[in-house]
Amino acid sequence: MDVRIGIIQTPKELDVELSPGTDREQVIADVEKALKDAEGVLWLTDKRGRGFAVPAGRIAYVEVGAETEDRKVGFGAP
């Protein structure tokens, strides 16, 4: 599952690829919890075990991808 985070006053986004077994609803709950406190920090751990911390007051938006990734490649892709 991919999580894309937009940071205020930064043209780039932070893309974090979470491990396949990550619960999507738990990620959304963690984001909501971090955003309730402007001084809070959102922590995410990618599939390689690296931790990413984003200050909640600097988050512009968060895009949480689907749990299953059915990627089609080639001429049959939509």
What are the boundaries of each domain within the chain? 2-64
Of 38 and 74, the structure prediction assigns the larger pLDDT to 38
From CA 4, how far away is CA 43, in angstroms rounded? 13
What are 3-12's pLDDT values in tens digits? Answer: 999 999 989 8
What pLDDT was estimated at residue 1?
Answer: 87
Residue whose C-alpha is closest to residue 16's, from 76, 65, 61, 56: 65
Count the neighbouring beta carbons within 10 Å of the beta carbon of residue 14.
15
- Structure confidence by residue, pLDDT tens digits, 15-62: 999 988 889 999 999 999 999 988 899 999 999 999 999 999 999 999
Whole-number pLDDT of residue 77? 56
